[in-house]
Amino acid sequence: MKIYFVSSNKHKYIEFRRILKDVIDINWINADYLEPQSDNLIDVAITSAKWFSHYIEEPFFLEDAGLFIDSLGGFPGVYSSYVFKRLGNNGVLKLLDGVENRSARFVSVIALHIGGRITIFEGVVEGTISEEIRGGGWGFDPIFIPNESNGKTYGELGENKDLFSHRGRSATKLRDFIGRLVA
Ligand code: IMP
């Protein structure tokens, strides 16, 4: 089945393509869009999908994601993209300098628009923020350690990131949903 994916983020596209390849043929629409102001990823994803549904007739999905750090009251959360651009990984590590509680979670919310309806798929991964930058990847990959990865950051996991990641979880739910539709 062919579905459009709307995002200006090439890394997200590469990960979704990898996770969904057996079931969904993704057509990437490399477009930026103005995200509504909200402290909730689901609201952002739904509002963005409604807005895009005026322009795309075919099935499409988009994703809103965020890193929520407990000792910072959930910051940067919905502001993750902005904070990454402004502070980067070094800035986040500085905010946590000397902080003992380094627990955090990564959340991915997919909004799928198909047949005039929006369906949400959420993926959540608990983890911690590393003491230093480790590995490659993109965004916060080098500083986020999912709980089950033997201490490796997303950036050190390479393609195995998908087995642990917030996106791996939300995309697997999307894949199963589409799999049932086409069965
Ligand atoms: P948005 O979903 O485009 O609003 O962006 C959320 C921001 O969170 C991205 O710009 C990245 O900085 C960060 N982010 C989301 N998912 C990941 C990931 O899988 N790895 C690293 N950073 C991520």
Tens-digit pLDDT profile for residues 93-132? 999 999 999 999 999 999 999 999 999 999 999 999 999 9
Beta strands in 51-165 (DSSP E): 60-69, 76-77, 103-114, 117-129, 144-146
The answer to whether 64 is a known catalytic residue is yes
Catalytic residue among 64, 97, 141, 176: 64
Give the chain's domain count.
1
Q: 172 falls in which pLDDT band (50, 70, 90)?
A: very high
Q: Provide the CATH number for the domain around residue 178.
A: 3.90.950.10
* 35 pLDDT higher than 80: no
* 92 pLDDT higher than 90: yes
Length of the chain: 183
Which residues form the domain of 34?
Answer: 2-182
Going by alpha carbons, the residue nearest to atom 10 of ligand 1 is 81
Q: Which atom of ligand 1 is nearest to the CA of 166?
A: 19
SS3 content of the chain, % helix, strand, coil (to 5): 40, 30, 30
Q: 134 falls in which pLDDT band (50, 70, 90)?
A: very high
